[in-house]
Amino acid sequence: MKLNIRLFAAIKARAETSQLSIEISEPATVSDLLDELFRQYPTIQPFVQTVLVAVNQEYVNRSQLINPGDEIALFPPVSGG
């Protein structure tokens, strides 16, 4: 399945784009997606351990299944005070 992934903040800056496309076999989990994404786009590799993933506007864990047409977004961790 082909997925479009939206990027935000530091990940967007590092990738120099706000969206990436990736082709991945079904069934796929968020973990599968991230493995392939970081393989194809090594410039965002520094975020591999800390990236937050939202599917259809809800944060999910890495075992979440992804379906064709899902809206996927990647966010770096946020801190503040």
What is the per-residue DSSP string for the chain?
-EEEEEE-HHHHHHHTSSEEEEE-PSSEEHHHHHHHHHHH-GGGGGGTTT-EEEETTEEE-TT-EE-TT--EEEE------
What is the per-residue pLDDT for 60?
98
What is the per-residue pLDDT for 80?
62
Fold of the CATH domain 2-75 = Ubiquitin-like (UB roll) (3.10.20)
Confidence of residue 77 (pLDDT cuts 50, 70, 90): confident
Q: What is the pTM of this model?
A: 0.90
User: What residues does 55 pair with on adjacent strands?
Assistant: 58, 72
Residues 5-24: pLDDT tens digits?
999 999 999 999 999 999 99
Euclidean distance between CA atoms 77 and 45, whole angstroms: 14
